[in-house]
Structure formats: C-alpha cells, structure tokens
Amino acid sequence: AQAPARVVGVVTAADPAARTLTVKADDGSSKQVKVVEAAKISQLAPGQTSLADAKPAELASVAAGDRVLARGPENN
C-alpha cells in the first residue's frame, strides 16, 4: 500500500461549502485539497508543534492565512 500524500503549507482559499482548501505548500507549489466528510480537523495554538493539545475544530473555521497539514490519497 502506498503511503498517504502529505501537504504542509498556508491556506490561500477555503470553500467550506465545496469542502475544498487551496494550499500554498512549503515547497512553493499550490495544491487543492478535498476535505472528506469523515476528516478529523484539529486546531493548535500558535507555536504548538504537538497534537497532544489539539482541540477539535470545524472545516468552517479554517480560513486563508491558516497553516495546515493535510494528508490522504492524492488524486491524479
């Protein structure tokens, strides 16, 4: 089995109704991320690096300028 794709970067556009995020990845590329209904969304305080203190969040709370880590299957 192939490991899930991973994107780390800054949200440049969020469309909660369409369940999509556009992310400018740390490598400079732009990726469109489809957020499935079953996705687990967690929020960390600025500067935190561990998910141990993450709080549950809703997709609607993700906005342009937020830093994200998204992982899952990559569509070609």
> What is the full DSSP assignment across 12-50?
EEEETTTTEEEEEETTS-EEEEE--TT---EE--TT---
Higher pLDDT, 31 or 1: 31
- Strand-strand pairing, 5-15 and 55-56: unpaired
Query: How much is the pTM?
Result: 0.86
Q: Which residues pair with 10 in a beta bridge?
A: 24, 67
For the cut 90, the answer to whether the pLDDT of residue 74 exceeds it is: no
Residue recorded with tokens 């079953």: 38
For the cut 90, the answer to whether the pLDDT of residue 75 exceeds it is: no
CA 37 – CA 64 distance, rounded (Å): 20
The reported pLDDT for the residue numbered 24 is 97
Q: What confidence tens digit (pLDDT) does each residue in 4-60 have?
A: 889 999 999 999 999 999 999 999 999 999 999 999 999 998 888 888 989 999 999
For the cut 80, the answer to whether the pLDDT of residue 1 exceeds it is: no
